[in-house]
Amino acid sequence: IAKHAQENEEYRQSLDTIFSLIQKWIKVTGDTVEINADSTSLESFIQDATEEKHLHKALHCIRTLAEKISGGKSLDGVFKSLHTCVIDIRRDSSLQSWMNDFFAYMKKNLENVGQVDSEEATKQREDLKRRWEALTDPNSDSGRKWKEDVALLRKELRDFEQRIEKDPELQAIRKAHAKFADDLQKTLFNAAATGLQLALDQASWVWQDFFNVYLPRIVGTLKDIPIPRTEFKDPETEFVLEDLDISSLSLLPGHVFIRNITDVDVTAPEHGETKTAVGSLTHIHAKAVQMQLKEVSFYYNDKTATVGPAEFSGLVEVTLPPQGVDVEVKVRMIPSTPEGLAQREQQRGFHRIEHVSARVNEDVSFAIKESNHPVIVSV
C-alpha cells in the first residue's frame, strides 16, 4: 500500500480521505450508537432525517448483498461487536485521543512515504505503541474489556472473510476469470504466431466475452487519457483543437461484431513439394460508441472570409447522440506466400489495415461555451 501511495498521488489522496472519514465517522456516530446500543443493523450507525430514508435503504441493500456473497452468513455479530467498540471509544477519552493521534500519524506517513523516518516520527510510533499496550492491559478492567471487544470484532470479521472465501459461487467466478485470462493470453500468443484469424477460430467465445464485457470497461478508462493538439487544414479553412480531454467514452455491450474470412491457397505440383499459404480478412464493426467532450479549446480560421471576422477561438462542448459513432475496421493477414513473407519482413508485422471508417449521427450536440466573439455564444 505504501509503495502504491508513493507512486500514485491520487491513490494516496484516496487513502487520506478514507482515514479522515473513519475518524469523522467515529466522532459523529457516537451519539447514534449510544441510543441504538443493542441494535445489530448497519442503519443504526447513521442518522437519516429524510422521509424517504434513501440512505438507510441503500445500507440495507448493501448488507443483503454482503450476506449473500458470504453464503448467507448473518452480519449481526459483526455489527454488534462494532457497536461495542464504538461505544468503548465514545466513553473513554484515552481511546479517543489515541485514535486521533493514530489517524494523524497515518496521514502524515502517507505524505512522507518512501522517505527515511525522522526522529519525531519514530518517537510518535513508539508512543502510540506504548499507549496501545496500556489501553489493552489485561490487569485493568477497561483495558481487559477493550482488548476482549477488539478481539471479538476481529474474530467476527475473520469468520465473515472465511465464509466469503469458501462461497462456491464466488469460487466459480474466480475460476472463470482465471480461465478467461489464461485463454486470452494463449489466444493472443496464437494471434502473433499464426495470425489473428486462426486465433479467433480456436477460441471464438473468448473474443465474444472480451468484446461484450471487458472491452467496454477498457474503453471507459480512456476518458482519463489526454489527447494532444489536433489540427485540420485545407486551402479554405484551418481548425485547431487543444486540451482535448474526453469527459466520457462508452461502448455498449453486444454492439461489437466481428466476422472472419479465411483464404487457404494449396499448391500441389505433380513433381514437387505441396505448399500451403494462409491469409485472412477480419472485419470489426462497433456500433453506438458514445462520447462527450467538455471545455475543449478551439481555433477556427476562415481563409476565404471577406466580410466580418475570420478568426474565432474559445471553448466548445461536444456530445454525441445515443446512436453514437459507428466504426468499421478491416484487417487482412498478409498471406504466407513467398511474396507475403517478404512483405511481412518489410512491414515488420503480420497484418495490414485495409479499411477504417467512422460514421457520426447528424444529431451531434455542439455548444460554444466561450468565444472571442460574444455573438457566437448567444447563437
CB-neighbour burial class of residue 157 (10 A; exposed 0-12, middle 13-18, buried 19+): middle
More confident residue, 261 or 150: 150
Rounded (10°) angle between helices 76-91 and 93-111: 100
Q: How many CA atoms lie within 13 A of 11 on its CB side?
A: 9
> Of 366, 209, 369, 379, nearest to 291 (Cα)?
366
How much is the average pLDDT of 294-309? 81
Cα(40)–Cα(88) distance, integer angstroms: 16
Taking the C-alpha atoms of residue 67 and residue 73, their distance in angstroms, rounded to an integer, is 6
Please state, in angstroms and rounded to a whole number, the distance separating the CA atoms of residues 126 and 124: 5
Structure confidence by residue, pLDDT tens digits, 207-245: 666 666 666 676 666 665 666 778 888 888 888 887 666
Q: How many angstroms separate the CA atoms of 220 and 227, rounded?
A: 15
Range from 43-57, 71-85, 142-156 carrying the lowest mean pLDDT: 43-57
Calpha distance 360→284 (Å, rounded)? 17
The pLDDT of residue 172 = 84
* pLDDT tens readout for residues 161-180: 888 888 888 888 888 777 77
Mean pLDDT, the chain, rounded, equals 76
The pLDDT value recorded for residue 378 is: 43
Q: Which residues on neighbouring strands pair with residue 263, listed in sequence order?
A: 279
Angle subtended at Cα 324 by Cα 217 and Cα 311, rounded to the nearest 5 degrees: 110
pLDDT at 81 over 50: yes
Give the amino acid at 73.
K
Write the pLDDT tens digit of every residue in 21-40.
Answer: 777 766 666 555 555 555 55
Length of the chain: 379
Residue 295 pLDDT level (bands cut at 50, 70, 90): confident
Instruction: Tell me if residue 175 falls in helix, strand or coil.
Output: helix
Kindly tell me if the per-residue pLDDT of 194 is higher than 80: no
Helix, strand, coil: what percent of the chain each, to 5? 55, 25, 20
Q: Supply the pLDDT for residue 34.
A: 58
The pTM (predicted TM-score) of the whole model is 0.47
The answer, yes or no, to whether residue 377 has pLDDT greater than 50, is: no
Give the separation between CA 131 and CA 114, rounded to whole angstroms: 26
Question: Sorting pLDDT into bands at 50, 70 and 90, what band is 13?
Answer: confident
